[in-house]
């Protein structure tokens, strides 16, 4: 992937020099990418494409006002810089707040541990999707609809600023999504699985058991009774913990959400207690090998690990340089954009709850009637309120797993739920299947994880 001219960084630096004195800050991001998209619904191929893209973006800031321009012809670079600078000067009226970061010159590549998907023919990727489609359909005749989605993307980014930073980064990302819908009369149930990797194409070729499990869950759930809706003590598995910490708490930790909303900023006051002294929550791109991992964010801030909750107390939040500057805090390396069409905004990377000390089998102790929920089926959040659907669930009776149930949704207020965590398991699982959406930038790769949790007073929807 060498579509950009070799001397482009020098050309960009020269172009920035011409406008440096007219703005407080100027940054150019150039990007080349190539990828594959395949979507098979039942026996019909709805998408089968390979794409190559080259483009860039310019961001300029003057007196707190931002100008942005994107382009897909390198010959337009000078013109787009001029447009972004002009726009910033038109809207800037106050003061530019950009927290300082190290000035770096770096060349970095996130290495693969196995086969590069760019070396795999499109026909082979299509055959992989067909294989998984057949696995889904073969589980039972009551499977009425299946879907398999495959995507891979290799990106190379060059980032140069008026402050002197010059960074080149590259990586490869892969994702597959599977769903099977089963019908028995008027009863319809769906099972889903998602997998992602930044390590190797090989990770996408070893998913037979997970694919089969998705279809089998759809079939098994057809005959299950619905849970009786009420408030229970609930035990959730690490996959649901990861979904919860990302969706319900992580977005509230993104500082652009806070400084634009005084009420939320008051709620998310540093030093406020949200849970027990056993509760530790983190976000960071520095841990290697995860889908939210990188060395520098899209403003050139080095990757780090930010502790959000320490011993149950809110101690941090996620920042871009601007949000850190406006709130008088340190940048955390969480300014990310999906591609050159979008400006960087504050986004999560890898978000997790740290393991506790309670053996997993002891999480069920003394629960006379409760629910054990595993995996995810769907969900939504609205501010501090959340609702998630479990992929599988069992009743807990007298401290033991009992009958399996369906239609389990978990709802609540994130702050109340954090305070209601009674025990934190000693297990842990990283879920690499995440694609996060915010501000029109959907599908940004993230990781999330955590241990099993025992939570009291959870509203469970059902019959």
| Same domain flag for 165 and 234 | no
Check: CB of residue 23 under 8 Å from CB of residue 41. Answer: no
The percentage of residues in the chain with a pLDDT greater than 90, rounded to a whole number, is: 90
What integer best gives the mean pLDDT of the chain? 95
Q: Which domain holds residue 394?
A: 230-461
Q: Is 51 within the bounds of a domain? A: yes
Q: Which of 6-15, 227-236, 374-383 has the lowest mean pLDDT?
A: 6-15
Q: Is 284 within the bounds of a domain? A: yes
Q: Is the pLDDT of residue 1 over 70?
A: no
Say what the pLDDT of residue 373 is.
97
Per DSSP, the residues of 373-438 read EEEEEEEEEETTEEEEEEEEEEEEETTEEEEEEB--EEEEEHHHHHHTEEEEBS--EEEEEEEEEE
Position 2 confidence tier, pLDDT thresholds 50, 70, 90: low
Question: Which strands, in side-by-side order, build the sheet including 313-314?
Answer: 313-314, 305-310, 281-284, 350-353, 441-450, 429-438
**Residues 168-190: what's their mean pLDDT?**
96
Say what the pLDDT of residue 140 is.
97
Position 8 confidence tier, pLDDT thresholds 50, 70, 90: confident
pLDDT tens for 68-93 read 999 998 889 999 999 999 999 999 99
Among 222, 247, 272, give the residue marking a domain's end: 222
| 391 Cβ contact partners less than 8 Å away, ≥ 6 residues apart | 191, 192, 217, 374, 375, 376, 377
| Same domain flag for 312 and 243 | yes
| Same domain flag for 182 and 317 | no
Q: Is 3 within the bounds of a domain? A: no
Among 179, 203, 222, give the residue marking a domain's end: 222
| Same domain flag for 218 and 235 | no
**Residues 221-246: what's their mean pLDDT?**
96
Say what the pLDDT of residue 374 is.
95
The whole-angstrom separation of Cα 84 and Cα 20 is: 12
């Amino acid at each position: 992937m060498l579509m950009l001219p070799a001397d482009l960084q020098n050309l960009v630096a020269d172009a920035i020099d011409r406008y440096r004195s007219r703005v407080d800050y100027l940054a150019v991001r150039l990007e080349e990418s190539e990828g594959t998209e395949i979507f098979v619904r039942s026996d019909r191929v709805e998408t089968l494409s390979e794409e190559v893209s080259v483009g860039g973006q310019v961001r300029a800031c003057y007196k707190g006002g931002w100008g942005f321009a994107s382009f897909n012809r390198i010959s337009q670079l000078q013109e787009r810089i001029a447009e972004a600078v002009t726009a910033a000067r038109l809207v800037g009226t106050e003061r530019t707040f950009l927290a300082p970061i190290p000035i770096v010159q770096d060349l970095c590549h996130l290495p693969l541990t196995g086969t590069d998907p760019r070396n795999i023919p499109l026909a082979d990727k299509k055959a992989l999707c067909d294989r998984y489609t057949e696995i889904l359909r073969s589980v039972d005749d009551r499977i009425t609809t299946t879907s398999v989605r495959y995507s891979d993307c290799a990106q190379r980014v060059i980032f140069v600023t008026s402050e002197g930073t010059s960074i080149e980064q590259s990586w490869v990302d892969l994702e597959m999504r599977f769903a099977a819908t089963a019908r028995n009369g008027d009863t319809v149930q769906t099972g889903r699985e998602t997998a992602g990797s930044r390590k190797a194409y090989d990770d996408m070729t070893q998913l037979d058991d997970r694919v089969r499990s998705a279809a089998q869950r759809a079939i098994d759930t057809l005959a299950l009774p619905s849970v009786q809706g009420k408030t229970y003590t609930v035990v959730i598995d690490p996959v649901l913990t990861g979904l919860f910490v990302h969706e319900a708490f992580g977005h509230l930790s993104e500082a652009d959400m806070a400084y634009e909303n005084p009420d939320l900023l008051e709620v998310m006051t540093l030093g406020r207690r949200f849970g027990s002294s056993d509760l530790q929550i983190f976000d960071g791109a520095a841990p290697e090998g995860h889908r939210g991992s990188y060395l520098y964010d899209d403003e050139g801030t080095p990757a780090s690990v930010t502790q959000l909750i320490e011993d149950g107390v809110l101690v941090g939040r996620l920042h871009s340089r601007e949000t850190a500057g406006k709130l008088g805090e340190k940048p955390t390396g969480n300014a990310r954009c999906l591609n050159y069409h979008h400006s960087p905004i504050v986004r999560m990377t890898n978000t997790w709850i740290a393991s506790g000390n309670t053996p997993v089998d002891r999480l069920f102790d003394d629960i006379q009637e409760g629910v054990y929920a595993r995996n995810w089926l769907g969900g939504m959040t609205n501010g501090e309120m959340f609702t998630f659907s479990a992929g599988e669930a069992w009743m807990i009776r007298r401290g033991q797993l009992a009958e399996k149930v369906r239609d389990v949704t978990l709802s609540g207020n994130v702050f109340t739920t954090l305070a209601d965590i009674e025990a934190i398991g000693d297990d842990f699982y990283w879920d690499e299947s995440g694609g996060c959406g915010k501000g029109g930038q959907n599908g940004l790769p993230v990781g999330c994880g955590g241990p099993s949790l025992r939570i009291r007073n959870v509203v469970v929807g059902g019959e």
